[in-house]
Amino acid sequence: MNRTKPVVESPSEEEARVPASERAYRRLKQLILDNEIAAGSQMLELEAAARLGMSRTPVREAMVRLEQEGMVELRPRHGMRVLPISPDALAEIYDILTALEGMAAESAARKGANPDQLAALQQAVDEMEEALAADDLLRWSQADARFHRQLVELAGNRRLASIVEQVSDQAHRARLTTLRLRPKPVSSNRDHAALVAAIRDRDPQKAREIHEQHRRRAAEMLVALVRDFGLKQL
Site residues (vs DNA, CB under 7 A): 19-22, 44-46, 54-58, 60-61, 74, 76-80
Residue 98 binding target from a copy of itself, DNA, none, CB below 5 to 8 Å by type: a copy of itself
42/102 Cα distance (integer angstroms): 36
User: Is the Cβ of residue 54 or residue 104 nearer to DNA in the bound state?
Assistant: 54
Instruction: Give 54's DSSP letter.
Output: S
Q: How far is the CB of 37 from DNA (least distance, A)?
A: 14
Q: Which of 72, 78, 87, 84 is nearest to 28 (CA)?
A: 72
User: Is the Cβ of residue 5 or residue 159 nearer to a copy of itself in the bound state?
Assistant: 159
Residue 44 binding target from a copy of itself, DNA, none, CB below 5 to 8 Å by type: DNA
87/100 Cα distance (integer angstroms): 20
Residue 95 binding target from DNA, a copy of itself, none, CB below 5 to 8 Å by type: a copy of itself
User: Is the Cβ of residue 58 or residue 87 nearer to DNA in the bound state?
Assistant: 58
Please list the residues that pair with 82 across neighbouring strands: 72
User: Is the Cβ of residue 103 or residue 225 nearer to a copy of itself in the bound state?
Assistant: 103
Q: Do 205 and 145 form a contact (C-beta atoms < 8 A)? A: no
Side chain identity at residue 213, one-letter code? Q
User: Is the Cβ of residue 60 or residue 182 nearer to a copy of itself in the bound state?
Assistant: 60
Q: How far is the CB of 67 from DNA (least distance, A)?
A: 10
Residue 65 binding target from DNA, a copy of itself, none, CB below 5 to 8 Å by type: a copy of itself
- Binding-site ranges for a copy of itself (CB under 8 A): 57, 60-61, 64-65, 68-70, 89, 92-93, 95-96, 98-100, 102-103, 107, 155, 157-160, 162-163, 167, 170
Residue 66 binding target from a copy of itself, DNA, none, CB below 5 to 8 Å by type: none
User: Is the Cβ of residue 74 or residue 91 nearer to DNA in the bound state?
Assistant: 74
161/153 Cα distance (integer angstroms): 6
Please list the residues that pair with 43 across neighbouring strands: 80
Q: How far is the CB of 91 from a copy of itself (least distance, A)?
A: 8
Residue 188 binding target from a copy of itself, DNA, none, CB below 5 to 8 Å by type: none
Contacts 24+ apart (CB under 8 A), 112-121: 112/199, 112/202, 113/154, 113/199, 113/200, 117/150, 117/154, 118/196, 118/199, 118/200, 120/150, 121/147, 121/150, 121/151, 121/154, 121/196, 121/199
Radius of gyration of the chain (CA): 19
